Structure 1
Amino acid sequence: MLPATTPPPPESFRLSAAPAAAEGYPMEVIDGYFLPAAGNGSTGIPIAPEFLEGDWGHSAISWGVGNPIQPVPERFWVRWYSYPEDKFYEGHWLLPGQHLTELLRQGYWNTKDKQHETYDGLTLCLLPKGVVVVWLTGANQVLLGRYEGSEINYDFKRFNEAANRPRMVVQEQAKLPPAVQHEIKTHTLSTRRWDAYLKTYSWQLAFNRSLQLETFSLTCLNAERTHYPPTADLPTYVQNLLRPQTRAVPAHLLLLVDAGYGRRRKIRVDAFEEAETLAAFRQLHAARPDAPLTLFVETDERVSQARFFVKNDQQQVPLPHAKVVVYDAD
């Protein structure tokens, strides 16, 4: 008979929870937790009660626990109030546990400090219609999933004992942006905008001339960002941008290139124009669904200016409203 073995303790990391709401769609957390597997002796990471504003993928709030080194969470739940809808929501969901553990274990290579680091937060954005989107956050940010909760009947006096509900709703909704107020009046509140951000395509970067890409920083519309490589292997990291990979539409980009003759340039896109870029990706993907797309960079010989296009194997669409700056790297 084989001797009994004790299973290894769960891996632990220093994590905190950071809730947010999309700009113009304020929410308020009532309660919530990121929870580890049952029976491992941990209380989990709280999502503390808070009035949320913030924005998609970004939070200025961070709540930890007394001992923030915690086992990797297995699931989470959250209960909240939506001001634009005057509704309460709640949801209980499983996280992609193995993927989350692998990401935390791998972390990324800090190219400035020359050291390995890993993620330190879980960011969740509460949206209308009971939708919640969660990212693993650090210098890099990785999408973990989109989840849908359910509307619940919750005692408003437990939420806000002093408030007159009808009066409070009128006052709070009057503070919202005109576009959001119009959605409320016309009953057109939805998550279409953010769902479009989550759409991914197979795309790569390419240049019109021979430039050596040394490193890059990329933020996509789905709020994923890549500032540091997963390992110290920079050549492999750079190649991942130069060959087709499944990613969301780019939002911001910084490229460091060697243009030859001792010239090193930074090509920075402070912002791709959202509607223009989404439309280009949709149009070219619809025309050739099986062909990978290319984010094409056209520069002059001295690499003193740059223009961007989206291409498939048959046509290209310019992105004239991308805010591009080119300057010396040194």
Structure 2
Amino acid sequence: MVISKYNLLILFIWCFSLTNCQNKKMEEKYSWLGTVSAPQEYPMEVYEGAIVADDFTYGFDAIWGTQNTGWGKEGGTMNVNTERMDAPHELEFTWYSLVEKKFYTGKWNLDKEKIKTLFDEGFVDQDTKKKSTYSSFVVGLAPQGRVVLWMKGPGNQKEIGAFQAHDTVITKEKAYDNAQYMLKEGFADRMLKDPSYKTFKPEVREKIEKEGYPAADIYNVYREKYNWKPAVILPEGATWIDFGFTNYNGEQENLFDQSLKDNTYKSRAVPRFCGFYWKDKNNNRYAVWIDAFDDKEIFDLFQKSGKDKNIDLTIKVNEDNTRVLVSLESEKEKLPVTKAKIRVSRKIE
């Protein structure tokens, strides 16, 4: 059989296209694991769950135990043999809320294209100065069946979905063997009230005893966003190096090099804590950490500033690099932040 030049060209184009498609398919595999997050004040007991991709399922069960690392903070992870997987398209989860003494369950579709875009875009890792990407999914379990899913990588965490579970009943007869302990009489009370179980950190337990549990709907309030950016004012001749921060909604950003130069107003949740480094005119390095804002004060100040305003989270360093003043500033208003817990380093050798 004689193959014409035209047919040969078509065959070449077909083979080239097939190779490209296969390569593209290979490029769409990602390396990821899963973990669980719950508020420190609202411990959750994992019953079962899964993050599901076409070619892989990352499972959860009672071996994960009690989770309350803090809202948005990852817990442990389980290693898997699979090295690269498709982007997941589904989340399902069932858990026991110890404070509410209720089981919740749900199954939700995920925005696979959004997940793939975040994987592909990635970010620059400040430590390595190389492009990196997200490596785990954090499943957040909150009171009243609220669920949030984040993607996490070094210095970065993005919310990719918020969902609503419904309560369910799981009986001793229905529960699988390894989860039977959750159904034992008095289990929740022992976990919550007996200090020997160490469910809560001492300071968290003390706060609960003094103020009670946080309002169950606060985890929706945490997701509200304002148009703000960090603004650092340094003594003359000093250089701003970076700015890292975590917001109440669990998202995390790390600005440095080009991203710090491009620093601009973005729709972000209220910051929970932040920190940055700078060099003075003599090239001495310093750092400041705002370990915690006062919840009521910082939300009141953002609400007073308004969602329709551009807001600067302004941190002004004094001339001898020993103190800072923090405020929220918009076009016509400056509101001082007075209750934050702040640390300023000495000169870093």
TM-score per shorter chain, which class? 0.7 to 0.9
**Does the CA-based 8 Å contact 1:108-1:228 persist in structure 2?**
no
Partner of 2:347: 328
Q: Distance in 1 between matches of 2:182 and 2:103?
A: 16
What is the total number of aligned residue pairs between the two structures?
Answer: 313
**Does the CA-based 8 Å contact 1:80-1:89 persist in structure 2?**
yes
Q: Distance in 1 between matches of 2:135 and 2:94?
A: 23
Q: Percent identity?
A: 20
Map 1:140-289 → 2, pairs under 5 A: 140-159=156-175, 160-161=179-180, 165-175=184-194, 177=205, 190-208=215-233, 211-227=238-254, 234-235=257-258, 237-241=259-263, 243-285=264-306, 289=307
Note closer, same or farther for the CA distance 1:33–1:305 as it changes in structure 2 (3 Å cut).
same
Q: Does residue 56 of structure 1 match 2:71?
A: yes
The alignment partner of 2:99 has SS state of: coil
Q: Distance in 1 between matches of 2:343 and 2:334?
A: 19
Q: Does residue 13 of structure 1 match 2:38?
A: no
Report the structure, 1 or 2, having the larger helix content: 2
Normalised TM-score (structure 2): 0.78
Q: Distance in 2 between matches of 1:299 and 1:178?
A: 34
Partner of 1:83: 98
**Does the CA-based 8 Å contact 1:17-1:64 persist in structure 2?**
no
**Does the CA-based 8 Å contact 2:41-2:214 persist in structure 1?**
no
Normalised TM-score (structure 1): 0.82
**Does the CA-based 8 Å contact 2:326-2:338 persist in structure 1?**
yes
The Cα of 1:102 is off from its aligned counterpart by: 1.6
Q: Deviations over 1:208-248 (max 9, x none)?
A: 4565422221222222222466xxxx23x00343x211111
Q: Deviations over 1:118-172 (max 9, x none)?
A: 2211111211111111111121211222211111233333335467654334434
**Does the CA-based 8 Å contact 2:246-2:274 persist in structure 1?**
yes
Q: Distance in 2 between matches of 1:253 and 1:162?
A: 40
Note closer, same or farther for the CA distance 1:306–1:94 as it changes in structure 2 (3 Å cut).
same
**Does the CA-based 8 Å contact 1:20-1:59 persist in structure 2?**
yes
Q: Distance in 1 between matches of 2:79 and 2:174?
A: 24
Note closer, same or farther for the CA distance 1:119–1:203 as it changes in structure 2 (3 Å cut).
same
From 49, 52, 57, the equivalent of 1:44 is 57
**Does the CA-based 8 Å contact 1:13-1:72 persist in structure 2?**
yes
Q: Distance in 1 between matches of 2:313 and 2:72?
A: 23
Q: Distance in 1 between matches of 2:182 and 2:166?
A: 24
Q: What letter corresponds to residue 248 of structure 2 in structure 1?
A: L
The structure that has the greater radius of gyration is 2
Q: Deviations over 1:310-330 (max 9, x none)?
A: 122222221122213144355
